[in-house]
Structure 1
Amino acid sequence: MILAHGNSLLQSENQFFLLVFSSSMALICFWLTFRYLKRARLIEDTPTSKIRSAAQGHVEIKGTVSYGKNKKLIAPLSGNACVWYTYKIQRYQRSGKNSHWSTVEEGTSNKSFLIQDNTGICVINPEGAEILTEHSRTWYGNTEKPKQTKNTNNFFNVISGRRYRYIEKFIYVHDLIYALGNFKTSGGGRDVPSNHQMTGQVIREWKQDYNQVLNHFDQDKNGKIDILEWEAVRAAASQEAEKRRQHLSKMPTVYTLSNTIHKQHPFILSTFSQKILAKKFRIYAILSLMGALLFVAFLIIHFFKP
């Protein structure tokens, strides 16, 4: 009697777990469906801007990749020269009848690189970007760090004792990049403070070392800066401010694309064309919808069928 009651309780707990799990997965799949559809429509509907004339804020640009200040990067597993990489080292693990790949190490580069169109050059800061690239390598080995970089996608490597899987993805120089993110233009005389603003900044800096101010402007050596001496301070600060303003106005124009500050505005970098990228997101949406419907069907059959 007690055993039967225990089995019944265990069965109820399992049923409750299946109900919660299936409901959660259905909701997640529905959410992913709308998310991917929104991405696809955003990519299709956002006009492509030229780098030199792009508006400030969330924009779409395209350009050919070139090296930034850091020049080329070297991917840590394959040794490939690139401008961006991400990698994973995974170990094959088996417990009874269950087996899976467990990630033991992973990393992503965040070094900036450049893209160029026929109007200008833009600095890409890839940190935080959703990056989709057609350049990917997967191979297997029997050590945590790969000893060779030959692509081997055959699962029989696992059977033969090669328990590690190495995955790398890249962006290469000369790739054509589709980019959607937060665009900002600086330099070129933009956002240069007025002389009044810059003078105040200079005076605040000088006040950090008040003894130096006294040494330069305390003419009567009484240890204080009187009204006339403060006029001299302001005049000197104004001259210094104007020098700084002239320097800022001569700074070259720099265009940058980086992560967005609004969650509803995605930051996407891709080596796929705009058309192919939108198609991929629509396929992801269809697959997510199919997953949602499967979980809903499971719920109906197992919990709501009369």
Structure 2
Amino acid sequence: MGLEGLTFGLAASAVLSVASGWWALRRLVQARHLLDTPTSKIRSAAQGYAEFYGVLQEIPETVIVAPLTGTPCQWWRYRIEEYQGSGKSRSWRVVERGTSEAWLLLDDHTGQCLIDPRGALVRPATRVVWQGHQRHPRGLAKTGFFAALGLGREYRYTEERLHSGQPLYAIGEFRSSGGGRQGLDLDAAQRTVVSEWKGNFDGLLQRFDQNSDGQLDEREWARVRLAARLEAEDRHRAQSAQPARHQLSKPRESQPFVLSCAGEDELARRFYWQAAAGFVLCLAGAVAYAWLLGIKGF
């Protein structure tokens, strides 16, 4: 083996070992997050990272249709692959893919929670795969004589969906507003109001410039801050009087954001198997790296 081949082999084995080791550790941490986070009820859940079990419901006046089959659903993801290449080198290659970003509605019989699915690891129960000869199919491929002949099999389509009425496990960042649940940082709210008022400084002068000199002195600024504080309190009371609104979204930290028709035990088990496979690849990369070093004589 030449020097160039050895160098490439060392680099490849090092990358394989590091990347698979990182992946395995990540999957282990994610599995522990799933198992260690207690299941909460939407009505009484604490703010922050939370886990829920419930049933998907339709959002009123919202119509969502899967793009490949035209099936009504609550969420979809699709992939179109084309059979490309020549001879023995032919293989399926992705030519188009897409994922729904429409909000979901989870109901656990104690309350309802809107879910922003962007950035989530979604494991739906419904998954269909078929083949055809059109880039964008209108429905499932027909079966029969032409299918038996293998005609029109240049494209492979995969469509995954979530439907109303299906059970859903969800874990992510939980936030509530309205219903008197949100706290008030009065100083921060006051600064927000003052900042808004400064955006229309002429209006601010008209309201608080008592001596009409075109500027606000210290006493007038004190009145501005007091009025802003009262305005912040009024806004908080008005918001608290609104019905409670719950939302789940991707956490800012590295915690997993998962939406799945399977429960946490099945998901954690899958993560553990993936972690095990990652550690095997990590070990294989390390062994290959050591073997190549031995060949090189280090």
TM-score, normalization by structure 1:
0.77
SS in 2 for 1:81: coil
For 1:12 and 1:147, locate their aligned partners in 2 and report how far apart those are by CA, in whole Å. Answer: 54
Higher relative contact order, structure no. (Cα contacts within 8 Å, ≥ 6 residues apart): 2
Aligned length: 291
Q: Does 1:292 align with 2:282?
A: yes
Residues 243-273 of structure 1: per-residue CA shift (max 9 Å, x gap): 645432321111111001112x111111111
Bigger mean CA deviation after superposition, 184-193 or 48-57: 184-193
For 2:232 and 2:159, locate their aligned partners in 1 and report how far apart those are by CA, in whole Å. Answer: 50
SS in 1 for 2:43: coil
For 2:151 and 2:216, locate their aligned partners in 1 and report how far apart those are by CA, in whole Å. Answer: 87
Distance 1:241 1:112, change over 3 A: same
Match of 2:26 among 35, 49, 52: 35
Task: Give, as a single letter, the amino acid of the residue that structure 1 aligns with 2:52.
Answer: I
For 1:19 and 1:237, locate their aligned partners in 2 and report how far apart those are by CA, in whole Å. Answer: 64
Partner of 1:170: 161
C-alpha displacement of 1:204: 4.8
Q: Does 1:101 align with 2:92?
A: yes
- What's the % identity of the aligned pairs? 33
Bigger mean CA deviation after superposition, 238-247 or 184-193: 238-247
Match of 1:82 among 52, 55, 73: 73
Bigger mean CA deviation after superposition, 108-117 or 89-98: 89-98
Partner of 2:202: 210
Match of 1:73 among 64, 84, 90: 64
For 2:82 and 2:94, locate their aligned partners in 1 and report how far apart those are by CA, in whole Å. Answer: 6
Q: Does 1:64 align with 2:55?
A: yes
Gaps of 5+ in 1: 1-7
Partner of 2:259: 269
Partner of 2:108: 117
For 1:223 and 1:239, locate their aligned partners in 2 and report how far apart those are by CA, in whole Å. Answer: 26
Task: Give, as a single letter, the amino acid of the residue that structure 1 aligns with 2:92.
Answer: W
C-alpha displacement of 1:125: 0.7
SS in 1 for 2:277: helix
Partner of 2:44: 53
Checking the alignment, whether the CA contact within 8 Å between 1:115 and 1:177 is kept in structure 2 is: yes
Bigger mean CA deviation after superposition, 139-148 or 94-103: 94-103
SS in 2 for 1:288: helix
C-alpha displacement of 1:288: 2.5
| Higher gyration radius (CA) | 1
Residues 250-304 of structure 1: per-residue CA shift (max 9 Å, x gap): 21111111001112x1111111112211111122223333333444455566664
Task: Give, as a single letter, the amino acid of the residue that structure 2 aligns with 1:290.
Answer: V
Residues 54-85 of structure 1: per-residue CA shift (max 9 Å, x gap): 11111111111112356241011111211111
Distance 1:198 1:17, change over 3 A: closer
SS in 2 for 1:34: helix
Residues 220-259 of structure 1: per-residue CA shift (max 9 Å, x gap): 9x79699999999999988877764543232111111100
